[in-house]
């Protein structure tokens, strides 16, 4: 029935819409015919022609009305009205280019900022993770005795796999930093070693080639890798025949099994100090090695829940299993069990607070823009009173006028959105340049259909909301007053109250944003004020990693670094140099069990752990880490000499409170290890972040550590700017051995910068939004005050003619503006007091209700607001009573 | 809208459809015919006739065609569509049910 129905009606509607003129002419002709026939009939009945015509018209009754009713039956009048409104609106906007430009710019700022942040939220948070059924993916953490989630071990994983029923797949990964050698410069890659079912667990299939096979997951046949799309393009020229070829990693040959799709999202954090994971190797875990113990936590487990298994259910089952394991191996496990984290939460949880805060902030900016536009419209409305009154007098219904005004506003908002879309389009590039901290999936951020739809809806909403107040005021004008010749176009008490309300809301919103931004600014200052524990300036860092058959021999490896440090130190312009296994604030650390003599727990797992630095003797002095007691490590602490260790203050305080740690002995990384003697105490160093308190740390000589690190970072203290030494530094290492990769050549200061990049990112954005909102508010306050002065010129003239002082007149105008501003400040403080708690997790050493911020920011705002009021208010002083009374 | 008998809501559609089912007519002819067949009992003002006709056209029940009239003037002639015929049947059924129900009630013997 229905489709057939359309067959008849659709062509009719289309005809009414596009051939409206023709249809109207036909209607005229049809009715004309009727009237003529009727007239003839009356003439036949004996009436005169004139009389007959009137009789026919009388009998018909309201020809125009009938026509209008006929038109209404076509059901397209709303479209025609809309087109008419849009045309009319466009004409009105063209006629007021100044107003249009200011309004469009205001909206472009508000809507553009929203589009940009929404595209960020959409790309990072809303887009589903690029895995099959991502909601079923979880990470499984073994909790330490303090309840902190941590890595697991291979033996534990094997037991979990055998005992649990909640998972479809359980897989493991651990980080791997191979050096790719071959045609061009050796390059250090960031990679993962994964169990063969890793990609099956995630639900990812290689775009090229095949997945890992289970028979490859053994210590003898695990020389198989899968490449990331980027690496394949960059180093292998997107070779379509790469599958099956061998590549050289750490001078060992590996077979390429496949290449991952371009959109693959690594599970590793997006810390700007690390590089993206680009290569995966099958784990092939050797369970016979000493590091395969039940306490050797160096693997991360992920799992795919079976369909229908809830997270709580899986958590409960894993709790039971870990309790059983703890019972079976009381020395190897702690009682705190395991915890499952949804993968989504692990990947996106840390950044979602920031993103939602930013989204809330841009919404406030948009509201300020709306208020400003409403202000502009209200001011314009008084000038349009007459126009509207004329239209109303001619029969336009109030609803029709409201619709016309709202259409005009939506037109404005759409124009604003179009202008605002342009900067939003560049958002990802802009953000990348700014540095986004650990924000993942930046590549997914773009202006797509969803973002465009959001912008469109937002623009229409903005148009309607900002136009609501003025439109309703205009649609109920006092006809009589407005039509009167020379009417003053006063907007009356209601209009001025509405304007004051808008100022109040603008001040409230921008104060809220300013307080939020100030809290973040104070936080960043606090973070950067933290003494890192070493001297940051004038140090160049440079990472190298030596490999190859030659360096399999520990002596050769140690010798390489001894020589390299010597040569670098000899360079002109170098004051000191040393090497270390992990640079502070570098985004990484090595944690080892710290078993002090006489302080051992029955379960060695309960002994404290400390951060290990494997260093050359000159490292401490190069970094400017203070030696507090005892002696420094020396060249004489060779492999043949007794093993010595430096500890930091935190370790001394925690392990030997009230005792002299010098000469005390400690085992590192297991109770079956040899003793190390403490020879010195050094200052604490911030390893993981300026905002994280330093934990226990120790320094061992590279010459004495049983497995000397092949991967070391040079710290070179320079006389001049550290960057200038980069070339010479590189050259020196190359001169020793040209086949070793050198990476991350950068000043130590950059590590500090990168470590606070995430904080700076949110601060810069929130600060920019606060600034925009504040600017808009100031413009708004200025505009309203200026308008008030113009409106009250006559009144001021009369008052002055009656003897009022000029100063009193300024106060009169100022008072009205200031009352609104103060109202807004009070409201803003109250709202901020409620809202800033959502910022708490982003703050450091600053309370959400920081008194200084809550005092200073409002004072600053009021100061600027007073200025914005006073400038136009001064004009009230210049009013000449004679001119004013002749005004209008 | 007219003195003699106010048309029951919706019955105008039925009347127009029925008359057009007999033969295609233009608006004027239709108004004459209406008076003629109802014996002046049902009076429909010309002012409401045309909107009603246009509504039926927009519903797709009747379709219009410009043809020369008896006095050789161009006039808009309406005729029933297939859809309109179905509509007429169902409205006629409705009318039958309604009128017989009302008749039954009106003829109830008072106790």
- Residues A207-232 pLDDT 10s: 999 999 999 998 888 899 999 998 99
Q: Closest Cα of chain A to B49: distance in Å?
A: 9
**What is the C-alpha to C-alpha distance for residues A851 and A842, in angstroms, rounded to an integer?**
17
What is the per-residue pLDDT for B56?
86
Structure tokens at A106: 């205001």
- What is the DSSP annotation of A229-248? HHHHHHHHTT-TT-TT-EEE
Q: Which domains does chain B have, with CATH numbers?
A: 11-101 (1.10.10.10)
**Is A9 within 8 Å of B59 when comparing Cβ atoms?**
yes
- Facing residue for A37 by CB, picked from B28, B47, B58: B28
Nearest to B18 by CA among B85, B96, B83: B85
Please list every residue in chain A whose beta carbon sits closer than 8 Å to the beta carbon of residue B50.
Answer: 30-31, 34, 66, 69-70
Q: Which of A245-259, A284-298, A836-850 has the lowest mean pLDDT?
A: A284-298
Adjacent-strand bridge partners of A630: A680
**What is the structure's pLDDT at A486?**
45
In sequence order, which residues have a C-beta less than 8 Å from that of residue A441 and are 6 or more positions away? Answer: A123, A124, A127, A265
Burial group, residue A810, by CB count within 10 angstroms (0-12, 13-18, 19+): buried
What is the pLDDT at residue A20? 72
Query: A28 — contact with chain B (CB < 8 Å)?
Result: no
Residue A195 half-sphere exposure, CB side, CA atoms within 13 Å?
A: 19
Give Cβ neighbours of residue A16 (< 8 Å, ≥ 6 apart).
Answer: A23, A74, A76
Q: Is A525 helix (H, G, I), strand (E, B) or coil?
A: helix
Mean pLDDT, rounded, of chain A: 87
Task: Give the span between the Cα atoms of A788 and A496, in whole angstroms.
Answer: 8
Rounded alpha-carbon distances, angstroms, from residue A246 to A227, A242, A258, A475: 12, 8, 12, 78
Residue contact B50–A31, C-beta within 8 A: yes
Identify all chain A residues contacting B48, using CB atoms and an 8 Å cutoff.
66, 69
pLDDT of A887 reads 57
Tell me which range, A97-111, A560-574, A602-616, is most confidently predicted by mean pLDDT. Answer: A560-574
Highest mean pLDDT among A144-153, A273-282, A521-530: A521-530
Tens digit of pLDDT for each residue in B82-100? Answer: 888 998 998 899 889 988 9
Predicted structure pTM score = 0.77
Q: Please tell me whether residue A612 adopts helix, strand or coil conformation.
A: strand
For residue A773, is pLDDT > 90?
A: yes
> What are the CB-based long-range contacts (under 8 Å, 24+) for A472-481?
A472/A402, A473/A378, A473/A381, A473/A498, A474/A381, A474/A384, A474/A385, A474/A388, A474/A401, A474/A405, A475/A388, A475/A398, A475/A399, A475/A401, A475/A402, A475/A405, A476/A398, A477/A385, A477/A388, A477/A389, A477/A392, A479/A389, A479/A392, A479/A393
Nearest to B73 among A31, A33, A61 (CB): A33
A74 to chain B: which residues are within 8 Å by CB?
A: 54, 58
Q: What is the pLDDT of residue A53?
A: 87
- Can you tell me the mean pLDDT for A283-289? 85
Which residue in A66, A74, A75 is closest to B47 by CB distance?
A: A66
The confidence band for A13, taking pLDDT boundaries of 50, 70 and 90, is confident
Query: Hey, what are A841's tokens?
Result: 């997790």
To the nearest whole Å, the CA of A39 is away from the closest chain B CA by 11
* pLDDT(A757) > 90: no
pLDDT digits (tens, 9 = 90+) for A388-429: 777 777 767 777 778 888 888 899 999 999 999 988 888 888
A29 contact B CB<8A: yes
Nearest CA in chain B to A61: B47
**What average pLDDT does the segment A759-781 reach?**
91
User: What pLDDT does A442 receive?
Assistant: 78
- A653-684 pLDDT, tens digit per residue, is 999 999 999 999 999 988 888 999 999 999 99
CB contact under 8 A, B55 and A61: no
- Torsional sign, CA A154, A159, A160, A166: positive
Q: How many CA atoms lie within 13 A of B73 on its CB side?
A: 13
- Chain segment B20-37, per-residue pLDDT in tens: 988 888 888 888 888 888
CA distance A20 to chain B (A): 14
Of B31, B50, B66, which has the smallest distance from its Cβ to A70's Cβ? B50
Predicted pLDDT at A731:
92
- Averaged over A586-590, what is the pLDDT? 84
DSSP conformation class of A680: E
Average pLDDT on B60-67 reads 86
Average pLDDT, chain B: 82
pLDDT band at A179 (very low <50, low <70, confident <90, very high): confident
CA distance A81 to chain B (A): 19
Per-residue pLDDT, A268: 64
| A402 beta partners | none
- % of chain B at pLDDT higher than 70: 89
Where residue A480 falls among pLDDT bands split at 50, 70, 90? low
Residue of B nearest to A32 (CA): B75
Is the CB of A32 inside 8 Å of chain B's CB atoms?
A: no
Q: What CA–CA distances, in Å, run from A138 to A141, A340, A345? A: 10, 6, 9
Q: Would you give the DSSP letter of residue A14?
A: H
As a dihedral over the C-alpha atoms of residue A516, residue A520, residue A523, residue A527, rounded to 10 degrees, the angle is 170
pLDDT for A18 beyond 80 = no
A279 or A797, greater pLDDT: A279
A693 vs A384: CA distance, rounded Å: 64
- At residue A441, the pLDDT reads 79
* Option in B26, B46, B55 nearest A60 (CB): B46
CA A443 to chain centre: 13
pLDDT at A159: 92
CA–CA separation, A682 vs A647, rounded Å? 6
Q: Give the mean pLDDT of A105-130.
A: 89
A8: nearest CA in chain B?
B60
Return the percentage of chain A with pLDDT > 70, whole number. Answer: 95
Q: DSSP state, A553? A: S
Confidence tier at A363 by pLDDT (50, 70, 90): very high
Top-confidence residue, A35 or A65: A35
Q: What's the gap in Å between the CA of A50 and the closest CA on chain B?
A: 20
Amino acid A5: pLDDT = 66
């Amino acid at each position: 029935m229905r489709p057939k129905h359309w067959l008849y009606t659709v062509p009719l509607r289309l005809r009414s819409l596009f051939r409206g003129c023709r249809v109207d002419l036909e209607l005229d002709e049809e009715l004309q015919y009727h009237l003529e026939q009727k007239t003839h009939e009356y003439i036949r009945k004996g009436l005169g022609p004139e009389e007959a015509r009137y009789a026919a018209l009388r009998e018909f009754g309201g020809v125009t009305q009938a026509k209008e009713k006929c038109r209404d039956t076509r059901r397209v009048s709303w479209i025609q009205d809309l087109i008419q409104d849009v045309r009319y609106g466009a004409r009105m906007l063209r006629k007021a280019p100044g107003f249009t430009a200011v309004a469009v710019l205001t909206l472009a700022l508000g809507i553009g900022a929203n589009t940009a942040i929404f595209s960020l939220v959409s790309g990072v948070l809303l887009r589903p993770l690029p895995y099959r059924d991502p909601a079923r993916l979880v990470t499984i953490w073994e909790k330490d005795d303090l309840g902190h989630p941590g890595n697991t071990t291979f033996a534990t994983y094997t037991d979990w796999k055998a005992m649990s029923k909640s998972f479809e797949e359980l897989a493991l990964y651990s980080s791997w930093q191979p050096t790719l050698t071959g045609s061009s410069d050796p390059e250090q890659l960031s990679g993962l070693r994964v169990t063969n079912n890793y990609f099956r667990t995630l639900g990812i299939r290689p775009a090229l080639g095949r997945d890992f096979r289970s028979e490859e997951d053994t210590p003898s046949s695990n020389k198989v890798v899968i490449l990331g799309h980027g690496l394949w393009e960059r180093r292998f020229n997107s070779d379509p025949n790469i599958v099956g070829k061998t590549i050289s990693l750490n001078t060992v040959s590996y077979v390429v099994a496949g290449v991952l799709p371009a959109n693959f999202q690594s599970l590793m954090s997006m810390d700007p100090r690390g590089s993206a994971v680009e290569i995966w190797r099958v784990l092939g875990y050797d369970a016979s090695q000493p590091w395969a113990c039940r306490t050797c936590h160096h693997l991360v487990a992920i799992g795919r829940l079976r369909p229908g298994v809830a997270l709580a259910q899986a958590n409960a089952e894993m709790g039971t299993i870990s309790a059983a394991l703890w019972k079976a191996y009381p020395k190897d496990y702690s009682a705190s069990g395991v915890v499952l984290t949804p993968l989504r939460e692990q990947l996106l949880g840390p950044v979602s607070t920031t993103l939602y805060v930013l989204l809330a902030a841009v919404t406030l900016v948009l509201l300020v823009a709306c208020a400003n536009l409403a202000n502009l419209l209200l001011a314009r409305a008084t000038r349009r009173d007459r126009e509207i009154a004329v239209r109303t007098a001619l029969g336009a219904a109030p609803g029709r006028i409201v619709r016309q005004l709202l259409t005009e506003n939506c037109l404005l908002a759409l124009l604003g959105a179009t202008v605002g879309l342009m900067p939003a389009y560049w958002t990802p590039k802009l953000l990348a340049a700014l540095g986004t901290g650990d924000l993942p999936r930046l590549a997914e951020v773009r202006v797509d259909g969803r973002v465009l739809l959001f912008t469109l809806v937002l623009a229409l909403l903005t148009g309607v909301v900002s136009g609501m107040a003025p439109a309703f005021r205009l649609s109920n004008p006092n006809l009589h007053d407005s039509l009167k010749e020379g009417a003053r176009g006063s907007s009356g008490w209601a209009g001025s109250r509405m304007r004051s309300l808008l100022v109040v809301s603008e001040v409230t919103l921008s104060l809220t944003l300013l307080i939020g931004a100030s809290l973040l600014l104070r936080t960043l200052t606090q973070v950067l004020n933290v003494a890192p524990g070493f001297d940051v300036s004038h140090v160049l860092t440079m990472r190298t990693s030596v490999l190859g058959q030659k360096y399999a021999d520990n002596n050769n490896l140690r010798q390489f670094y001894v020589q390299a440090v010597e040569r670098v130190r000899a360079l002109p312009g170098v004051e000191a140099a040393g090497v270390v296994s992990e640079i502070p604030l570098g985004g990484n650390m090595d944690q080892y069990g710290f078993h002090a003599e006489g302080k051992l727990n029955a379960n060695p797992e309960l002994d404290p752990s400390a951060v290990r630095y494997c260093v050359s003797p000159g490292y401490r002095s190069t970094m400017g880490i203070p030696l507090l007691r005892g002696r420094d490590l020396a060249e004489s602490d060779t492999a043949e000499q007794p093993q010595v260790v430096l500890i930091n203050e935190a370790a001394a305080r925690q392990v030997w409170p009230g005792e002299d740690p010098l000469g005390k002995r400690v085992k590192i990384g297991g109770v079956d290890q040899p003793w190390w003697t403490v020879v010195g105490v050094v200052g604490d160093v911030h390893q993981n972040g300026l905002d994280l308190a330093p934990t226990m740390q120790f320094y061992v000589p590279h010459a004495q550590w049983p497995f000397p690190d092949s991967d070391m970072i040079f710290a070179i203290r320079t006389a001049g700017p550290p960057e200038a030494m980069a070339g010479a530094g590189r050259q020196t290492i190359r001169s020793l051995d040209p086949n070793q990769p050198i990476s991350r050549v950068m000043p130590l200061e950059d590590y500090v910068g990168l470590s606070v990049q995430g904080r700076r990112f949110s601060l810069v954005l929130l600060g920019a939004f606060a600034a925009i909102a504040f600017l808009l508010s100031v413009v708004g306050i200025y505009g309203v005050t200026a308008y008030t002065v113009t409106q009250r010129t006559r009144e001021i003239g009369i008052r002055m003619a009656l003897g009022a002082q000029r100063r009193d007149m300024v106060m009169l105008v100022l008072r009205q503006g200031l009352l609104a501003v103060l109202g807004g400040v009070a409201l803003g403080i109250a709202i901020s007091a409620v809202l800033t708690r959502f910022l708490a997790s982003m703050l450091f050493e600053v309370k959400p209700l920081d008194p200084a911020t809550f005092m200073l920011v409002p004072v600053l705002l009021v100061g600027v607001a007073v200025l914005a009021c006073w400038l136009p208010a001064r004009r009230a002083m210049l009013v000449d009573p004679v001119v004013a009374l002749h005004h209008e | 809208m007219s003195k003699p008998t106010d048309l029951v809501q919706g019955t105008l559609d039925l009347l127009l459809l029925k008359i057009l089912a007999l033969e295609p007519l233009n608006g004027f002819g239709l108004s004459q015919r209406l008076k003629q067949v109802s014996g002046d009992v049902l009076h429909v003002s010309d002012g409401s006739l045309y909107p009603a006709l246009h509504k039926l056209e927009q519903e797709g029940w009747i379709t219009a065609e410009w043809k020369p009239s008896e006095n050789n003037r161009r006039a808009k002639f309406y005729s029933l569509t297939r859809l309109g015929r179905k509509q007429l049947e169902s409205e006629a059924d409705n009318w039958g049910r309604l009128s017989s129900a009302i008749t039954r009630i009106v003829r109830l013997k008072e106790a």
